[in-house]
């Protein structure tokens, strides 16, 4: 799962140039605090944006008494606040310091001096927003849910906690400063009071994938280079093939499906493996990231190449073999995962792993790769999935619109 799928604020054609320019600007002297990405555009930010270093992800349940008009009002409020937050501003004009002294401030203020820090905010809708588990159409949108929006099948290594899975709405906050990301979720949660409540959240650090060719491949908590062949913002044709929704209801076109899975890693067990066994399980060299069939990190793996003993150099049960597009009907995905460490258990073992995030054009495509991995991937022995969610991320927001407006007014 850590390399599952090997293989925005702007439109597909413009994104590559836009995000590369921003990234290059950062390298040429623009501090991370000053780095700013636009909120409005053809795509939501936080998909093709060069993956930032920090994450705070949150899922919400809409309260039982919330009406359709109340929900639309919340989406309007979130849209306005988000458009300000990505500029490094407070959620309103009065912000944290200029409101009436006798009332609570609109903004909590802990990010007031940190700048935009490359913040992006990505909003998504869960299946239960369209129809509850009991079949209730609370907001009159059940008939507008795409038939492709299917739940993921349960797999052998799924030990899911329902309390930290699912949700009616989600917000992905990514930034280069953890306080900026936390501040955004904190203040958007305050705006939701009375209309929606926080269901679960997850913080993350140290991106585990690169989403632009300007970024180097990062390492996960197993010390492995992760996501070598991830789709990139510059791969516009592949993004159209694998990421952007083009079928089903018109209001979804240009959006994507966000798959979020909290994957616990048995850190201490993995650390006790021989180095050559770690390489065999992954199918790649730990130092360079190169496939065991030879070459460098970006050399395509040769799954037929054999060693002097006649055995294939890349085991058919290795991770790279099981999740490679060649083993999954060509399916690929755009990954934006993060490491997490949430303390330790009563035996002193780290509660740590990967908060896996991927964008795909249909949940079924992700499920196809995941099923192939769970069936016979040696890597699964060292992983346990504790949370799983899928959200439909609508297209980007134009000025004077709100997130998901076409769903409610189209």
pLDDT, one tens digit per residue, over 108-127 is 999 999 999 999 999 999 99
If you ran DSSP here, which 8-state letter would residue 155 be given?
A: -
Q: Is residue 70 domain-resident?
A: yes
pLDDT-derived band of residue 27, with 50, 70 and 90 as boundaries?
A: very low
Of 29-38, 248-257, 367-376, give the lowest mean pLDDT range. Answer: 29-38
Other C-beta atoms closer than 10 Å to the C-beta of 7 total 23
User: How many structural domains compose the chain?
Assistant: 1
Residues 6+ apart with CB under 8 A from 43: 8, 9, 10, 11, 12, 15, 254, 395, 396
What is residue 137's predicted lDDT score, i.e. its pLDDT?
Answer: 97
Average pLDDT over residues 4-32: 38
What is residue 30's predicted lDDT score, i.e. its pLDDT?
Answer: 46
Helix axes 178-191, 68-85, angle to 10 degrees: 150
Q: How far apart are CA 333 and CA 366, in angstroms?
A: 8
**Strand-strand pairing, 120-126 and 54-62:** unpaired
Model-level pTM greater than 0.75? Answer: yes
Condensed to tens digits (0 to 9), the pLDDT of residues 63-93 reads 999 999 999 999 999 999 999 999 999 999 9
In the three-class reduction of DSSP (H, G, I as helix; E, B as strand; rest coil), residue 262 is classed as strand
Q: How far apart are CA 74 and CA 189, in angstroms?
A: 10
Q: Is residue 369 domain-resident?
A: yes
What is residue 15's predicted lDDT score, i.e. its pLDDT?
Answer: 36
Other C-beta atoms closer than 10 Å to the C-beta of 42 total 17
CB 391 within 8 A of CB 126: yes
Other C-beta atoms closer than 10 Å to the C-beta of 100 total 8
Residue 285 belongs to what domain range? 12-146+159-397
Q: Is residue 263 domain-resident?
A: yes
Condensed to tens digits (0 to 9), the pLDDT of residues 207-241 reads 999 999 999 999 999 999 988 889 999 999 999 99
Q: Is residue 338 domain-resident?
A: yes
Condensed to tens digits (0 to 9), the pLDDT of residues 161-190 reads 999 999 999 999 999 999 999 999 999 999
Q: How far apart are CA 49 and CA 35, in angstroms?
A: 12
Other C-beta atoms closer than 10 Å to the C-beta of 379 total 25
What is residue 31's predicted lDDT score, i.e. its pLDDT?
Answer: 59
């Amino acid at each position: 799962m850590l390399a599952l799928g090997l293989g925005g604020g702007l439109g597909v054609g413009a994104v590559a140039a836009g995000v590369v320019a921003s990234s290059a600007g950062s390298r040429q002297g623009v501090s991370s605090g000053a780095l700013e990405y636009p909120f409005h555009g053809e795509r939501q930010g936080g998909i093709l944006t060069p993956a930032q270093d920090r994450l705070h992800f949150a899922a919400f349940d809409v309260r039982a008494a919330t009406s359709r008009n109340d929900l639309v009002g919340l989406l309007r409020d979130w849209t306005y606040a988000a458009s300000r937050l990505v500029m490094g501003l407070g959620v309103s004009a009065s912000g944290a310091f200029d409101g009436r002294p006798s009332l609570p401030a609109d903004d909590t203020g802990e990010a007031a001096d940190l700048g935009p820090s490359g913040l992006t905010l990505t909003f998504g809708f869960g299946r239960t927003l369209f129809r509850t588990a009991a079949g209730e159409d609370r907001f009159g949108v059940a008939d507008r849910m795409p038939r492709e929006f299917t739940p993921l099948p349960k797999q052998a290594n799924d030990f899911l906690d329902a309390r930290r899975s699912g949700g009616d709405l989600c917000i992905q906050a990514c930034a280069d400063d953890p306080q900026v990301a936390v501040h955004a979720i904190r203040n958007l949660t305050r705006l939701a009071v009375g209309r929606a409540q926080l269901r679960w959240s997850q913080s993350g650090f140290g991106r585990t994938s690169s989403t632009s060719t300007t970024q180097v491949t990062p390492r996960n908590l197993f010390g492995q280079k992760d996501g070598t062949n991830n789709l990139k913002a510059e791969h516009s044709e592949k993004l159209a093939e694998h990421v952007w929704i083009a079928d089903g209801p018109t209001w979804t076109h240009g959006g994507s499906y966000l798959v979020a899975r909290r994957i616990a890693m048995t850190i201490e067990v993995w650390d006790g493996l021989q180095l050559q066994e770690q390489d065999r399980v992954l199918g790649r060299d730990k130092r360079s990231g190169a496939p065991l069939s030879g070459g460098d990190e970006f050399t395509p793996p040769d799954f037929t190449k054999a060693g002097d003993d006649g055995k294939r150099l890349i085991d058919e049960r290795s991770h790279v073999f099981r999740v490679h597009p060649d083993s999954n009907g060509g399916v690929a995905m755009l990954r934006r995962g993060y490491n997490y460490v949430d303390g330790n258990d009563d035996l002193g073992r780290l509660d740590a792993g990967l908060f896996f995030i991927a964008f795909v054009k249909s949940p079924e495509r992700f499920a196809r790769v995941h099923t192939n991995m769970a069936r016979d991937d040696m890597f699964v022995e060292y992983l346990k999935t504790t949370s799983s969610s899928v959200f439909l991320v609508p297209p980007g927001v134009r000025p004077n619109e709100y997130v998901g407006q076409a769903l409610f007014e189209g």
